[in-house]
Amino acid sequence: MIEKARQQFKSYPNIKFFTHNVLDGEFKRDFFDNILFASSSHHIADQDLKAIFDALIVNLKPGGELHFFDIIKQPKDKLITRLLTRYDQGKNIRTLDEYKKFFKDKNYQIAEKRIFKSPKAMIQLWDFLYIKITK
């Protein structure tokens, strides 16, 4: 996927795609203009998620933005949604209150917070939380 993205955006010299473990310290401080952290936190345990976010914020340039998207576990989730969740293998699906506490405890500068509701359908999926953090 990284190679495909490189090819698709090769005419944009200021856009780069790569894979690294942000916890290995391979990036300079204030390296990123924007960070997209999408649909993966439900696979990451709390202590690891905190370490990852701390590293991402350190690597974000002043004025930069971190865009966070992930599913929200809610009491309204129907049986099909819960089954899909179980088979997705995401063992750390959090509620809105758990995310609120996580972001509040870390004292991040939250510029925007939204919930994207799942469309009404025969198989209703999760609602998504979006948070924009600025540095």
pLDDT of residue 84: 77
**Architecture of the domain whose range is 2-134:** 3-Layer(aba) Sandwich (3.40)
Q: How far is CA 99 from CA 1, 43, 70, 106, 117, in A?
A: 29, 14, 10, 11, 16
Q: Which of 70, 113, 104, 75 is nearest to 90 (CA)?
A: 70
Amino acid at 25: G
- pLDDT tens, 1-28? 889 999 999 999 988 888 888 888 888 8
Domain residue spans in the chain? 2-134
pLDDT, tens digit (0-9, with 9 covering 90-100), for 75-127: 777 788 777 777 776 789 899 999 999 988 777 899 999 999 988 777 778 89
